[in-house]
Amino acid sequence: MDDNRRYYSLDALRGVMMMMGLVLHGAQWYMPDTLGILPLPTDRSTSYVFDLMMLLIHSFRMPLFFVLAGFFAALLVGKRGMKGTYVNRGKRILGPLAVGIVTILPLTILFTLAFIVSARFGTHELIPTSEQLEIVGGELREAGFPTDQPSLAHLWFLNYLLYFYLMIPLCRAIVGLSTRIEAGVSRAITSPFAAVAFGLFTALTLWPFRGGIVFEGFLFITPHVPSLIYYGSFFIFGYVFHHYRPILKTFERYLAWFVPLSLMLFAASVLATRVEMAQAQVTPGVHAIAVLTNGLCTWAMIYMLMGVFLRFFDFKSPWILYLSNASYWVYLIHLPIIVFAAWIVLPYDVHAFIKFPVIVAFTTLTCFLSYHYLVQKSWVSLLLNGKRFDAQWPWAER
């Protein structure tokens, strides 16, 4: 079934999910207990608002991103075939990952270590001493953080995408098998109650993770099988959704259902996660509630956000086009900038509610200015987007 339309709403949603990374990675430095599973020193000024912000964004952001990645992968296969898709993804994903590892990643690691050491010892040096690194490394290992594994930081999602694109033949086989009973599958998948089935499946993939939340394993070069299964399932769902595109109407039609449902499930998931994380020894019953509420919450959030963007943002707009083109660059470059900004303001005795918006605003401004004036007309845009652009600022477009 040919599909030649431009999904402006889903382009916008994908861009917004990337932009949410700035908020999430800014909030992590002002969390009071770092959820008990991110054993990193933080700023002196903290608030549980940032814990809640982290949990909220993390409940839907990357699962929804991988659903969209699967959907657009199916769209690309339909347009270019398997060979064309792999050539395209090699250029757009493998190329930026290779370049990012030798450029963006070293800066990210440098500034992250500077922040961690400065927060831990009350100093403010950009280059930590070997003694400081040894002490911090020992504390992180004692807390269960695998410091011996090379980390890709925020570039991990490119690494995972490469694995998921290798699953495209499997995705095509699943779609092919489903067509034998296509009418029944279509009725089931377009029912709003399909969200419950998706949520139950996701709950099963969350079982290996304490608290029912995925904050471990995926940041490193070495594949983490539970994370691959968890995130990979969303990619497969997204691929299948492209074949059964009437589900997009389901997202719109039942939006009013999923707004309150997602909020209630989020509250329940936070409570269940907190209860389990507070336990010295995990019990199966509490863990089951945590993974169930988190799995259902994630899918309620996906249905809600897909519905919002399909209903209200499915039109051609200079803002949507600009965000779609710029978001890839902004996400790739934002982490070293936001960590550097957090390190700069670290010594100042100012509340987190001031520091957080300052570093996010500074990072957003720096990223978009660099894209607009340095990247969009350059070879970098050609690498990331397949073409150069010469766009005006969206507010200047008529």
pLDDT of 2: 67
Tens digits of residue pLDDT in 292-317: 999 999 999 999 999 999 999 999 99
Does residue 363 lie within any of the structural domains?
yes
Q: Which residues pair with 220 in a beta bridge?
A: 151
Please give the pLDDT value at position 374. Answer: 96
Residue 170 placed within a domain:
yes
Backbone angles phi, psi at 368, to 5 degrees: -75, -35
Query: Does residue 151 fall inside a structural domain?
Result: yes
Sort 130 into a burial class: Cβ within 10 Å, 0-12 / 13-18 / 19+: exposed
Query: For residue 332, is it within any domain?
Result: yes
Q: Evaluate if residue 141 carries a pLDDT over 90.
A: no
Per 3-state DSSP, the chain is made up of helix, strand and coil in percentages (nearest 5) of: 75, 0, 25
Q: Taking residues 282-298, report their average pLDDT.
A: 94
Q: What is the pLDDT of residue 83?
A: 94
Helices 318-345 + 104-121 axis angle, to 10? 40
Q: Which domain holds residue 286?
A: 8-396
The total domain count for the chain is 1
pLDDT for the residue numbered 150 = 83
pLDDT exceeds 80 at position 51? yes
Please tell me the pTM assigned to this model.
0.94
In a domain, 3, yes or no: no
DSSP state of 314: -
Contact indicator for 289, 270 with CB cutoff of 8 Å: no
2 is a domain residue: no
User: Per the domain annotation, does 115 fall within a domain?
Assistant: yes
CA angle 372, 377, 379 (to 5 degrees): 120
Per-residue pLDDT reduced to its tens digit, 238-258: 999 999 999 999 999 999 999
Q: At residue 1, does pLDDT exceed 70?
A: no
Structural domain includes residue 1: no
Q: What whole-number distance in Å separates Cα of residue 232 and Cα of residue 63?
A: 9
Query: 209 is written with which tokens?
Result: 């993770």
Mean pLDDT of 353-362: 97
Residue length of the chain: 398
Contact 44, 381 (CB under 8 A): no
Could you tell me which residue, 397 or 221, shows the higher pLDDT? 221
Please give the share of the chain, as a percent, with pLDDT higher than 90: 80
